[in-house]
Amino acid sequence: MGQNITHKIFSSHLVEGEMAPGREIGLKIDQTLTQDATGTMAYLEFEAIGIPSVRTELSVSYIDHNTLQTGFENADDHKFLQSAAAGFGVYFSRAGNGICHQVHLERFGVPGKTLLGSDSHTPTCGGLGMLAIGAGGLDVAVAMAGYPFYLQMPRVINIRLHGKPAPWVAAKDIILEVLRRLSVKGGVGKVLEYTGDGVAWLSVPERATITNMGAELGATSSIFPSDEVTKRFLTAQGRAGAFAELIPDPDAVYDEVVEINLAELEPLIALPHMPDNVVRIAGVAGQKVDQVFIGSCTNSSYTDLMRVAAILKGKTVHPEVSLVIAPGSRQVLHGLASNGALTDLIASGARLLECACGPCVGVGQAPASGGVSLRTSNRNFEGRSGTADAGVYLVSCEAAAAAALTGKITDPRDLGDPIEIAMPERFPVDDRMIIPPPEQKENIQLVMGPNIKPLPQTSPLPDEIAGEVLLKLGDNITTDHIMPAGAKVLPLRSNIPAISMHAFERVDPTFAERSLAAGGGIIVGGSNYGQGSSREHAVLAPLYLGIKAVIAKSFARIHMQNLVNFGLLPLVFVKEEDYEDIEAGDRLVIEEVRGRLAANSLQVRNVTRDKTYPVKHSLSERQIEIMLAGGLLKYVKN
């Protein structure tokens, strides 16, 4: 039986288990990446494991999220990360060099290799045929220490792209169409593998736009073949030697097939406040726009911004619109500067930001009250922009540039003749902002400023869990609900006691204080609880506040793994209707927890309502041992 691309990489990296969907497998990890907002914890965790140097082929530490320095905190974190990189044998991509996913695609990604990153959009490198997976910082630390990465073997969904996209239909529209069809939980437990004749029309950065937003479907990863297009991209990056062809066998089998005819697609838009809330732009055209943001790891490549520059050339941004642009990397900015496109952007009135995440994660450029912001980024969750009542819409670069000129949501097809941007034969390669680890590591001290607080301690699973339901939540609760990001909170990522006071603040500002006063309690969630980011802080903060368990209808992959890694029990209702029965304030008791875990026969007693609900978990034997030990760090050290 022929193999698909995903299975080829899985089988060449399999170190434990059987590749049957749903079964736990262990994978060898070739490369890792961390970013500054998750990286401080990851390197503290790596230090706690006690291995002197990383054992991967390559590990890179990026500074890209916390680059706004309104106090000492972020700069302290950068110094710590630079010293950790030097000490542990990690490459260090300096602040301003670009967003981790864009830079990794340009400079490090290798077809056929595995990459584990402490950021949910790590699958961006799937655009060049790499099996790239997002995970919590501790999982990445353990992989840096040379241990396998464990996950449930995903099902492989083949997304077959047929035909050629019509003019003004972008890669962004393809992934928005996938989101429209499959929803924000449609990728859970799956790898999305793109094949078909339509793939040939897409450049590597366009493919990366698509694999990037596989994260918004909750997919384990997304991947494209490595073909002639990949070879040209790597050659233009001066990395032809990294190329290896990777295509599915002609008789490859898949668990499911989704067909998309690219020729039939139209420009699309995701309406507030979920990335799967997708409609045709033509259907909502005309609505007034206050802000346009072009950037993020989804849409900030050289060709993306060249298209924007061509649209804006000789024109002026609409007087009612603030247009902000953040190039994805220094290489992109360099390319725009040396060919004059940057002048066109500046002349049009665009406001240039540094090469970093910026507004995508609420670091600056919060929209006006009740404002409408059109963005090329990937998440439009309520409040993530920094303005609680703003509406964020997700679009392609072309649609964003069109709206910046007209001041309203505009179908880019109204712009007239399509724009062709050729891929450069050679990108302006300059790695001087990436510091390689030193040959000699003696005398390297970790620089720990006052913002870096010790790792929180976990304890072994108790035999009885009891507490009040402190919050009852609906479906699709994101990690941005649980642990908000943004310019005010992100600088506290290395300080768990301080950041914890912001947990759930957009849902219920009294949560942190109530939780501390009650000595902790239990959270009840709906389906797809914890979707979105990989941030461990969405577990560490509730843990710090005394949360003992989360009971939900279902969990997002990375968040559930993070809960287990820190010894917080993720439980699922056996009968979904029991969710309806529970109210905030009810007192719940789970008895014989340790004893019943292996048999998966736990029960929740609702003391307030005198009812008992059967609950289950989907933990592997290894994860049960992690829970009993009190988290992954303790388990690894044992």
Residues that bind ligand SF4 (CB under 6 A): 65, 99, 119, 121, 296-297, 357, 360-361, 377-378
Nearest distance from C-beta of residue 212 to ligand SF4, angstroms = 7
- Span from 232-240, 494-502, 527-535, 608-616 in contact with ligand MIC (CB under 6 A): 527-535
Rounded CA-CA distance 507/627 in Å is 28
Smallest gap from residue 117 Cβ to ligand MIC (A): 9
Pick between residue 180 and residue 384 the one whose CB is nearest to ligand SF4: 384
- Tell me phi and psi for residue 344, to 5 degrees: -65, -40
In the block, which residue shows the tokens 């939980």? 185
Q: Please tell me whether residue 485 binds ligand MIC under the rule CB under 6 A.
A: yes
Q: Could you say whether residue 38 binds ligand MIC (CB under 6 A)?
A: yes
> By C-beta, is 65 or 231 nearer to ligand MIC?
65
Closer residue to ligand SF4 (CB): 152 or 299 = 299
Kindly indicate which of the ranges 299-307, 426-434, 528-536, 624-632 contains the residues binding ligand MIC, using the contact rule CB under 6 A: 528-536
Among 120, 226, 298, 331, binds ligand MIC (CB under 6 A): 120
Provide, rounded to whole angstroms, the least separation between the CB of residue 65 and ligand MIC: 6
Amino acid at 341: A
Q: Least CB distance from residue 493 to ligand SF4, whole Å?
A: 13
What is the DSSP track for 471-510? EE--SS-BHHHHS--HHHHGGGTT-HHHHHTTTTTTT-TT
**DSSP tag of 462:** P
Q: Cα separation of 32 and 588, whole Å? A: 40
- Among ligand SF4, ligand MIC, none, the one that 99 touches (CB under a kind-dependent 5 to 8 A) is ligand SF4
Q: Which of residues 312-371 bind ligand MIC (CB under 6 A)?
A: 361
Q: Where are the alpha helices (DSSP H) in 429-570?
A: 479-482, 486-489, 496-500, 511-517, 537-544, 557-565
Closer residue to ligand SF4 in complex, CB, 297/556: 297
Largest Cα span, the chain:
72
Two tokens at 102?
A: 């864009």
77 near ligand MIC, judged by CB under 6 A: no
Whether omega before 334 lies within 30 degrees of 0, making that bond cis, reads no
- Select the binding partner of residue 38 from ligand SF4, ligand MIC, none (C-beta < 5 to 8 A, by kind): ligand MIC
535 binds, among ligand MIC, ligand SF4, none (CB under 5 to 8 A by kind): ligand MIC
Closest to ligand SF4 by CB, 64 or 76:
64
**182 contributes a contact to ligand MIC by CB under 6 A:** no
By beta-carbon proximity to ligand SF4, the closer residue of 123 and 412 is: 123
Residue 534's binding partner among ligand SF4, ligand MIC, none (Cβ under 5 to 8 angstroms by kind) is ligand MIC
Count CB neighbours of 539 within 10 A: 30
Q: Which of residues 239-268 bind ligand MIC (CB under 6 A)?
A: none
The residues, any chain, with a CB within 8 Å of residue 339's CB and separated by 6 or more, are: none
Nearest to ligand MIC of 85, 297 (CB atom): 297
> Which CB atom, from 119 or from 206, has the smaller least distance to ligand SF4?
119
Q: Considering only residues 534, 562, 606, 623, which one is a binding residue for ligand MIC as defined by CB under 6 A?
A: 534
CA angle, 177 as apex, 206 and 166 as ends, to 5°?
60
d(CA 173, CA 308): 16
Closest to 520 (Cα-Cα) out of 586, 592, 470, 464: 470
Answer for which of 119, 206, 216, 398 binds ligand MIC (CB under 6 A) is: 119
User: Is 8 among the residues that bind ligand MIC (CB under 6 A)?
Assistant: no
From candidates 13, 28, 104, 121, binder to ligand MIC by CB under 6 A: 121
Q: Nearer to ligand SF4 by C-beta: 121 or 307?
A: 121
If the CB atoms of residues 28 and 502 are measured against ligand SF4, the closer one turns out to be: 502
Q: Which two tokens stand for residue 60?
A: 């890179």
Q: Are 137 and 118 in contact (CB under 8 A)?
A: yes
CB of 148 to ligand SF4, least distance (A): 25
Cβ–Cβ < 8 Å for 140, 206: no
Span from 392-400, 513-521, 533-541, 565-573 in contact with ligand MIC (CB under 6 A)? 533-541
Nearer to ligand SF4, 206 or 411 (CB): 206
Q: How many residues bind ligand MIC (CB under 6 A)?
A: 12
Spatial neighbors of 251 by CB under 8 A, at least 6 apart, are 1, 2
Distance from C-alpha of 62 to C-alpha of 248, rounded to nearest angstrom: 32
CA distance 620 to 154: 14
312 versus 556: smaller Cβ distance to ligand MIC: 556
- Strand segments (E) across 346-489: 351-352, 372-375, 391-394, 434-435, 465-472
SS3 content of the chain, % helix, strand, coil (to 5): 35, 20, 45
Cβ atoms of 604 and 589 within 8 Å: the answer is yes
Output the smallest distance, CB 453 to ligand SF4, in A: 23
Chain residues in the site for ligand MIC (CB under 6 A) = 37-38, 65, 119-121, 361, 485, 532-535
